[in-house]
Homo-oligomer: A and B are copies of this chain.
Amino acid sequence: MQQLGQYRALSNAPVEDHGIRVGLMGVPFDNGVSYQGGPRLAPQRIRSLMPRLARISEEGVPLVLPIFDYGDVGPDLDWARYFSTVEERALTVLNENQLALFLGGDHSVGIPLFKAFARRFPGPVGYIQFDAHPDLADEYDGHPWSHACTARRNLEQAGLDHRHLAFVGLRSHMVDELQYYAEHPEIGWHTAREVYRRGIEAVARDVAAQLAGVSAVYLSIDVDGIDPSCTPGTGTPVHGGPSMRECMEFMRIIYAELPVRAMDIVEVSPPLDISDVTSMAAVKLLYEGCGFFQEKSLR
C-alpha cells in the first residue's frame, strides 16, 4: 500500500491528516461468470482513468482524506486459494482503514470480501446491493460461488441477517430467487420500477430505516444495477434501471444515514465498454463515495 504518493498527486487539494484513511484494493477475477469474461480487466482500467477526474466531489468538496492503494490481488487459477487470499487481504484493508473500497471483478468476489467484512465487524452488519439481479441462487453453472450466488452466500456463510439485507434496482430474477424472497419477506426488496415510481430518495430512506442500528454497512454496487444508457459496459445489461444521477443520490443518503465502512464496484467489463464510460462511472462513484464519507467523518 505504498502508492499514497501517486494518489496524493492526483488531488488538486492537499491531503489532510485527520486520522481517517481510505483503502483501495482491486480483485481482477471473473471466473465466477460463465457467459463472458471481462471484469477482471476493470481494476487496472479504472485506476488508469482516475487521473482524468479531479479529486473533488461534484458539489465542490475537495477530497482531502488520504487514499492508500493496496494494489490488486494477483491471478491464481486455484479458485479456493484465490478467494482465501482475497479474504485475508481484504481484512487487512478493513483493519487499516476507516473506509474500504474494492474494485471487482465479477460479483462473485463479493463472497470473500463480505466474509472479511463480517469478520472485521462482528456485530450485526448490513449489506446493501444496488443491482439488477438479487444474486440469490443457491448454485449456478454448477457452482456455489457463481456471481449469481453472492447474496445467498453472504446470508449463509457470513452470518448476514435477512433483515439487514436490502436490494435496490432489481429487474431480472430467476424463479428460485423469487421463491427465496417469498420465504424471507424481511429482505429489503426494491425494484427498478419502484425507484421510478416512488423516487430514489424515498427508496433510499426506506433502506436507511431498515438498516438502522447495524454496526457497519457494506455497500455493493453492481454496475448492471444502473441503467445501460449510463453503464453499458457490463455482461448482463438490463434496461429500465436507475440512472447514474439516481445512484449517486442513493449513495448520498446511505452514506449520510448509515455507517458505511466498505463499498465495492463490480461487473465493470472494459472489453464490453464504450469509450470507457462505464469505467469513468466507476471512478465517479469512487470519488463521490469518498466525498460522502468525508463529509460525514469530518462533520
Chain A residues packing against B (C-beta within 8 Å): 12-13, 30-32, 34-38, 40-41, 44, 48, 52-54, 56, 58-60, 62, 75-79, 81-82, 140-143, 145-146, 171-176, 178, 191-193, 196, 227-230, 232-233, 236-240, 243-245, 248-249, 271-277, 280-281, 284
Contact = CB atoms under 8 A, between A and B. Distances in A.
**So how many copies of this chain end up in the complex?**
6
27 contacts: A31-B31, A31-B77, A34-B77, A35-B52, A36-B38, A36-B41, A36-B271, A56-B178, A60-B173, A77-B145, A78-B142, A79-B79, A82-B142, A228-B230, A228-B280, A229-B243, A230-B239, A233-B275, A237-B275, A237-B277, A238-B280, A239-B245, A239-B248, A239-B284, A240-B245, A240-B284, A271-B272
Given A13-B175, A172-B54, A275 B275 contact: no
A38 B40 CA distance: 12
B36 A238 contact: no
A59 B52 CA distance: 38
A38 B35 contact: no
Nearest to A82: B142
